[in-house]
Structure formats: C-alpha cells, structure tokens
C-alpha cells in the first residue's frame, strides 16, 4: 500500500476518533431542549433562531399560533430524534475507526471487517428511526410558526426515502463484502 494512502488512513482514523469523542457531547442537546421547554422558551427560541428559515410572506406569526404551539410534543420529538441520530453517528464512527485501522494493517476482507460494515447498516437504521421524529418536529414549526429548520437536525419527510436508498446501497456493499470475505476464506482453505 502506498505511503500516501497509509498516511491518509491514519488521518481519517484520527479525525474519526476525535469526532467519536465529541459526538458524545451531543447527548446534552436533548437536555437543553427539555430545559427550554420547562422554562417556556421553546417558541421564542424558534422564532429568534437563525437555524429556522421563514416561509415566504409569513414573517409575522399570530399570537394564537404561538399560544397553541405544542412545545412539549415538539421537545419530545426533537429529543428522541437527536438521541437516535447521535447513536447512528457513534456506530458509524466506531466502524470507520476500526475499518481504517484494519485497512492500514492490510487486513482487507476479514470477518471483523464484515461485522464493521454491518455497523454501517445499523447506523443507517438508527438514522431512519430518527427521521420521523425530526421531520415531525420540523412539520410542527412549519404548521404553527411558518418556519422550516435549516440547521443541524433539519430533517423533512422527503429525507426518509433518501435514507432508505442509502440503506439499500449500504446493504448491497455489505453483501458484496461478505461474499468477497467468504471467497477469500474458501481460497485459503484450498491452498
């Protein structure tokens, strides 16, 4: 393996390890949302936040819409969605770190790598599980406050089919990787 590729794998592994550690901090996000809901600041945070885009011609929101906004439901949806999304990221980064280490050590088609590719499928399943919660929260802000989330965790209903396609692609890669590992094992037995 070329030295440049070895160094690149080490850099990717290092960055993934740092991201893995930092991702654990993301579990504080739901705590913040719950705290804001208990203080009654959910609507004002949404209206004043740059992560929410105003739907055209609806810059002002009526007091009735503000009063009827289901803040606790919104908080629950966002909190559950964020937790599931962070779990997905943690699975993905864990697999990425171990796969890059294995590739750097010239262990390509191994049983361990097949299991690690399976973790990418698990990660995508968690992402799919998070989508309805985050899309539902985004739908609430759109319906009641005429705002669309454009920042972090800005999932809409159209993201679900995209994530399903991603799951299919990762599953095909997993099947191909598993077949290659089995062929390698059979070749080693025949020699």
Q: Around 135, how many Cα atoms within 13 Å sit in the side-chain half-sphere?
A: 13
State the Cα–Cα distance between residues 172 and 136, nearest whole angstrom.
30
CA torsion sign for 20, 130, 79, 67 is positive
Instruction: Give the pLDDT score at 147.
Output: 87
State the Cα–Cα distance between residues 135 and 82, nearest whole angstrom.
11
Under DSSP, the state recorded for 25 is: G
Burial class (CB in 10 A: 0-12, 13-18, 19+), 160: middle
Q: Name the phi and psi angles at 53, rounded to 5.
A: -95, 135
Q: pLDDT (tens digit, 9 = 90+) per residue, 37-76?
A: 999 999 988 888 888 888 877 667 778 878 889 999 999 9
Residues with pLDDT less than 50, the chain = none
Instruction: Give the pLDDT score at 107.
Output: 85
Rg of the chain over all Cα atoms, to the nearest angstrom: 21
What lies within 8 Å, CB to CB, of 48 at 6+ separation is: none
Q: Give the orientation angle of helix 71-104 with respect to helix 28-39, to 10 degrees.
A: 170
Pick the closest to residue 128 from 73, 88, 94 (CA basis).
88
**3-state SS track over 28-40:** HHHHHHHHHHHHC
Instruction: Give the pLDDT score at 64.
Output: 83
Pick the closest to residue 126 from 171, 167, 168, 74 (CA basis).
167
State the Cα–Cα distance between residues 90 and 96, nearest whole angstrom.
10
Instruction: Give the pLDDT score at 73.
Output: 96
Instruction: Give the pLDDT score at 65.
Output: 79
Instruction: Give the pLDDT score at 58.
Output: 62
CA distances from 119 to 99, 110, 142 (A): 11, 15, 34
């Amino acid at each position: 393996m070329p030295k440049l590729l070895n160094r690149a794998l080490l850099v990717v592994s290092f960055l993934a390890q740092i991201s893995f550690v930092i991702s654990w901090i993301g579990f504080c996000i739901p705590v913040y949302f719950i705290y804001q809901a208990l203080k009654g600041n959910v609507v004002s945070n949404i209206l004043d936040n740059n992560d929410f885009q105003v739907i055209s011609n609806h810059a002002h929101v009526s007091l009735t819409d503000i009063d009827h906004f289901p803040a606790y439901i919104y908080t629950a949806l966002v909190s559950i969605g964020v937790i599931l999304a962070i779990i997905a990221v943690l699975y993905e980064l864990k697999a990425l770190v171990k796969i890059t280490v294995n590739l750097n050590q010239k262990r390509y088609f191994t049983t361990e790598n097949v299991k690690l590719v399976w973790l990418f499928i698990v990660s995508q399943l968690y992402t799919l599980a998070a989508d309805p919660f985050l899309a539902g929260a985004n739908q609430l802000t759109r319906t009641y406050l005429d705002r669309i989330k454009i920042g972090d965790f800005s999932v809409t209903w159209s993201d679900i089919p995209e994530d399903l396609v991603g799951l299919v692609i990762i599953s095909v890669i997993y099947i191909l990787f598993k077949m290659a590992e089995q062929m390698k094992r059979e070749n080693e037995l025949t020699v």
